Structure formats: C-alpha cells, structure tokens
Structure 1
C-alpha cells in the first residue's frame, strides 16, 4: 500500500484542504493518506475551533485514512520543532512520502534554497542576529537576512509561512535520515493569513474562523467554502458544547495564572525570557480581554504568534524543564482515528512501526503524553461548565474513531 503523509491542523477542514489532500494523493500515487494533526492547541498559539476528535472526524469523512496526533510538545512550537515532530511520526508509521502545500509549489526551489542556506550558513546566521539586534522579530530577521544574501529568483520567498514550513520538513527528513520522499503542491487561491473571502469556493481557515466569530456571523455563510461534513460537524459541535473555542474563552484562566505568579515563577515557563515576565504581569493587571492583553504586550521584536504560544504555555503551566527533557523526535504514535482502509493498513504494518502505537491513553505512561493530557484538560475549560467534565473525560474514554 503506497502511503502519503500530510501535516495538518484542519481548523476547520475546508475546500482548500480537500484540494491539497486529493492533489497529494495523486502526486504520490498513494492508496492510503496518513495525517499528523495538531491536538487541541495549535502552532500559532491558538485553541482549535473544535476539539481534536471532531477535527479527526472531519478528516476521515473527507478522505484521510489515518489520523495521528502531533503531541503538544511539537504542536505549539516554532516551525523547526513542529516539523521535526511531525516528520518523525510519519517516518515511524511507514509513510512513503510527505506532501505539503506551499506558495511556491516547486520542489526544486526548496532543494536549491536549502543547499544555498547550508553553504552560506555562518553568514546567514550572522545576518539574522544583526537584524534581530535592531529590534525586529525572528521571522522578519530571517527574511531580511536571506534577501541580503541572495537576489536569485530561483530561491524561495522566506516571508511566506508555508515556504518556511516546507523547508523545515525537508531539513527534518535529512536530519532524521528518513526515507520519506518530499513532495509539494501549490496552495489554491487563498493565502495562509487571508482574513477575507477571496474566491467563490476557496478560503483560508483564518477567514472562515473570522466569519464564524463575527458578530454578524448569522448573516455570513461558510457553506460554499467547506465540505458538507465540515458544516455538519461544526453545527453538531455548537449544539453539543454551545461554543466554538477561541482565546477569549480562556482569558479569565490566563489572567488568574498570571496574577498568582511571581516574576521568578513566570521565568520558569517555557518561552518566557528576556524580561518578558515583567511586561506580562503589568499587562495582566490592566487588561479586560485577551485581545487587549495582547495589544499591550506586543512589540516589534515578538510576533503575535510567538506571544500566543507563550500564553498557551502559561495557561498549561508548561515549564522549561518539561520541554527540555524531551527528544527532537516523538516517542509514540497516538491514534485518533481511521477508516476501514486505514485499519487494514495498521493491521498489516503496525508490527513494523518504529514507535509504540497508542490507542488507549490509560495504558501508556510516557512522560511526553502527560503534556497532551494536561493540554486536553485545560482546553475543556473553554466550554460551558455543564459539559466541561464530558469533554475532559473524553481524553480517556474516547476510543480511536472508526469511519467505515
């Protein structure tokens, strides 16, 4: 069974994702699609719109065959660590290839850019540090440093988020000496960060979420931008839990965590550094919402995404020592769901997996999974109190979803 791996968040699954899935399957000539999907908190430091279980259902009903969870340790991270975790899972699960969407859509330009940066590594890193010393953010410094080194159009635009992720996927494959074959397909119509609908059928997840959370969302239809099953599951989730998750649901908990911390305690939290603890504590005292808090702590040096990730780590009380003690590769395969074809693949191939397959949480004691458990419990606080316990207990009670 030829397999292609996808690295996803599906927040929520939309028509652009469906295009990427089918284009990837075709590019890889694959019979089985395996997705590594972030759990309840995502790479940009946001709670997922709906739980990982509902997003797993979306994936399986729309053409994915197996869904593994990308552990919290890798999911709420910068691109390099995010990529290392995801690639290690696909490799351990016996994938033949990994296919990612990109602004470029040209694999050769990725390979040439990586080779160029490898050859000029010292100069590039020196340029990054020089630009960061001027007060710009790390992503901006990376882009500026690269443009100063190269004026060739054959290299990638490192200001584009999916190009950056693609580079990190290929670097991770090389670093881990994986046999995964990298493939890329162009993103269709909508840019990653587009906040407005730019076509009749394709929209970014950002613009779809914005429409959902708009005060006028009753008047805005997203049906043309998402498959039927996504629309159905979003409606079902809202009926069951009465909310979609976003940062404001968690603001009171984050503010409480901050107000009970001393500067020394806050410095122990992962990604709190360079005196940020004082800025965070001062802003927590005078902010009435998460958005207001973010506006107060935002600087040129720290991107909104970087600060949101930091806030997730504060919310989950994730300390530097907990993250430092975990290897660059994942240590297990957490199975969230499968189709009949996916089940057949697992039955045939799981004995060859290089990591333990976890389908029942209570039977697995690995330290890394405790971060996932804690994140799931915190995530459940974002729903109405009478269903909090139900969502919290689901982490233990939910068996891997089977779609036949």
Structure 2
C-alpha cells in the first residue's frame, strides 16, 4: 500500500493546495494521502484565519484521506523544529513518501543543501539557501522549509519528492486563480472577493486577525514580572525588556511588532514569541514533554478510517480520535492554545469554540 504524506497549514485552503493534493496522489499512485496540518496557530507566528476543524474538513472534502494535527509546540517554532515534528508524525503514520512544494523543484540540489546545512549555524544556513534561491530567481521560503524536511528525513525510510510551486510564497496578488495563502489573507483583510482562489471564501473574515489579540498581549506584557516573561518559550537574549518597553509605547499590534523587529529578531521570530506569551507556554514545560507518540486525528474519510484501523495494531502508538486520548502533558498545552485562539469571540461563540476541542474527529463520507 502506497501511503503519501504532505505537510500543510491550509491558511486557508486554496486552489494551489488542490493542485498539491492532485500531484501528491499521482507521483506514486497514492492509496492513502495523509496531511500533517498546523492547528489554530501557524508557523509564521499568527492565529489561523479559520479554525483547524474547518480547514481539516475542507482538506478531506478535496482529496486528503486523513488530517493529523501538528502539535502546537512544533507548529509555532522555527522551520527546523516545525519539520522535525511533522516528519515524526509521518514516521508514526508509516508513510512511504512525502511530497512538498519547492520554488526550485530540484530535489538533488535540496538534498545537497540539507546535508551542508545540517552542520552550519542558522545564520550561515539561511545565507547559503538565499544564494541558491537567487540563482533560481525565486523566493526561498519553501526551499528553506524543504531543506528542513530533508534534514529531518536523514536516516528515514520515507522518500521525499518535490513539485513546482504554482505561485510565489509571499506574493500578495489575490486576483489570480491560483493565489498564495498570504495573498488570499491580504484580500480578506481588504474585504475583497477571493472566491476565484479558494473554496473557503464564504467562511473567511477578519475575526482572527492578529491585531485583535493585542489588547490582551499588551496587558500581559505590562503586568507580568520580567522574570516571568523571560521564562516563556523563545524569550531569549533580553527580549523581555524589548517587549515590555514597546508594549508601553505602542497602542496597536503593527506598530508594536515593527518596533521590535531588528537584525537580531525577524517578524516571524517576534510573532512566534508573542504566541507563546499569549498561550503562557514556558520553556521548562516544553523541555519536560513526554516523547511525541500520538497522532491527533482532526478529520478523515472511509479510506482514512480503514488505514487507521491498521495503524491501531501498533502497541506503542496512540491514535487520538478524541481530545482526552491525547497524553495529558500535550493536552494541557493544546487546550491553552485553543482558549487563547478564541479570545476575539463573543462569550457565547467562545464557549462553543472551546467545546469543539473536546469533540471527536470530523468524519466525511
């Protein structure tokens, strides 16, 4: 049985993702397609534009057989840690091969870069990848992530394949039939029609725009002791002082984040750190987590259900189709993440959204 894995965020699901699914199925005549998907917060350091249940259901409705949640501690970190979590889940799911998008679409060159990058500091790795991307006249965001996948795959039986990306990762033109997720989100924030680019258009709005979380974040930063901020995940090198200073100076999210950006701290780094403060995720808590040995299933179809029945025969694997089946230390973090994610909602809608966390998976026939 050929089982293919893809790593996604679907923020939101769009026509380019449909192309990815189609190509992933065709490369090795895939029998079961498994998507590892970020939950309610994504790797760029923002709340997802629509909740994970809607995105997972949409993915299964459009060709994925199983959607597995990438745990919050992996979904909201650097490319390397994000990739390590995703590959760990694909390994637990007994995937044969994985397919990811690439600007340059040259798997051999990416493998070569991954081998070189494995021995380099982060800064030198990024410079090396940028040089390669410039030679391809493409933006390197997905190639950088692809290199992280390949590093995590070293020593694995999973075979990697690439497909050519159909758009630029950061392109903000939302008028094309295949537009990037960034472009679609940009269009939504401008209240533009994006029906031509995503099947989720009717469900998208600005409810979860990161700017709505700033009053809570500002309150936390200005009321927490500096040592307590320092204890949060990714707060390093005196960042707590920078965050507190700018929280007192700026009354809106954009101005605050822009003031924090520097050569040392990128926008994504700042925003991911803010998420960990928002969710009160401590370094020590992450360090003490039990080994990742569970698959949290968000959505599936008949093919997925049949495949999961085979996986359940593995004694050392936890297949969590309900929230209370997730190991307690991981579950505690995920619940806080969901509670934080629902902050902009009305009390009634927030209660309903948090209750979703305890539901069983979404099943689509």
Counterpart check, 1:288 vs 2:251 = yes
1:259/1:281 contact within 8 Å kept: yes
Structure 2: distance between partners of 1:325 and 1:40: 23
Q: CA deviation at 1:145?
A: 5.1
Q: Secondary structure at the match of 1:270?
A: coil
Q: 1:211 is matched with which residue: 187, 190, 202?
A: 187
Question: Which residue pairs with 2:35 in the alignment?
Answer: 35
After superposition, the C-alpha distances for 1:268-289 in whole angstroms (9 at most, x for unaligned) are 1111111111111111112111
Structure 2: distance between partners of 1:344 and 1:331: 20
Q: CA deviation at 1:110?
A: 1.3
After superposition, the C-alpha distances for 1:293-323 in whole angstroms (9 at most, x for unaligned) are 1122111221100000000001011111012
Report the CA distance shift for 1:23/1:354 in structure 2 as closer, same or farther (over 3 A). farther
Report the CA distance shift for 1:15/1:332 in structure 2 as closer, same or farther (over 3 A). same
Counterpart check, 1:191 vs 2:168 = yes
Structure 2: distance between partners of 1:97 and 1:290: 41
1:43/1:75 contact within 8 Å kept: yes
Question: Which residue pairs with 2:143 in the alignment?
Answer: 163
> Radius of gyration: which is bigger?
1
Q: 2:328 is matched with which residue: 361, 366, 379?
A: 366
Structure 1: distance between partners of 2:211 and 2:352: 21
Matches within 5 A, 1:56-135: 56-117=56-117, 121=119, 124-125=120-121
After superposition, the C-alpha distances for 1:51-95 in whole angstroms (9 at most, x for unaligned) are 100111111111111001000010001011101110111111111
Report the CA distance shift for 1:391/1:28 in structure 2 as closer, same or farther (over 3 A). same
Structure 2: distance between partners of 1:330 and 1:82: 13
Question: Which residue pairs with 2:201 in the alignment?
Answer: 231
2:129/2:144 contact within 8 Å kept: no
Q: CA deviation at 1:266?
A: 1.1
Q: CA deviation at 1:158?
A: 10
After superposition, the C-alpha distances for 1:365-403 in whole angstroms (9 at most, x for unaligned) are 43122111110111111222331111111111x210010
Q: CA deviation at 1:202?
A: 0.8
After superposition, the C-alpha distances for 1:89-132 in whole angstroms (9 at most, x for unaligned) are 111111111110011112111122233445xx3xx44xx6xxxx
Structure 1: distance between partners of 2:301 and 2:14: 19
Counterpart check, 1:308 vs 2:271 = yes
Q: 1:251 is matched with which residue: 204, 214, 218?
A: 214
* Gapped regions of structure 2 (runs ≥ 5): none
* Higher deviation after alignment, 178-187 or 302-311: 178-187
Structure 1: distance between partners of 2:195 and 2:8: 21
Report the CA distance shift for 1:44/1:200 in structure 2 as closer, same or farther (over 3 A). closer
Q: 1:143 is matched with which residue: 105, 126, 137?
A: 126
Q: TM-score, normalised by structure 2?
A: 0.94
Question: Which residue pairs with 2:26 in the alignment?
Answer: 26
Q: Which has the higher contact order (CA 8 A, sep 6+)?
A: 1
Structure 2: distance between partners of 1:115 and 1:142: 11
Q: Secondary structure at the match of 1:113?
A: helix
Q: Secondary structure at the match of 2:265?
A: coil
Report the CA distance shift for 1:157/1:69 in structure 2 as closer, same or farther (over 3 A). farther
Report the CA distance shift for 1:274/1:168 in structure 2 as closer, same or farther (over 3 A). same
Q: Greater helix share, 1 or 2?
A: 1
Report the CA distance shift for 1:353/1:383 in structure 2 as closer, same or farther (over 3 A). farther
Across the aligned residues of Structure 1 and Structure 2, the Cα RMSD in angstroms comes to 2.3
Structure 2: distance between partners of 1:278 and 1:226: 41
* Gapped regions of structure 1 (runs ≥ 5): 129-137
Q: Secondary structure at the match of 2:47?
A: coil
Number of residue pairs aligned between Structure 1 and Structure 2: 365
Q: Secondary structure at the match of 2:112?
A: helix
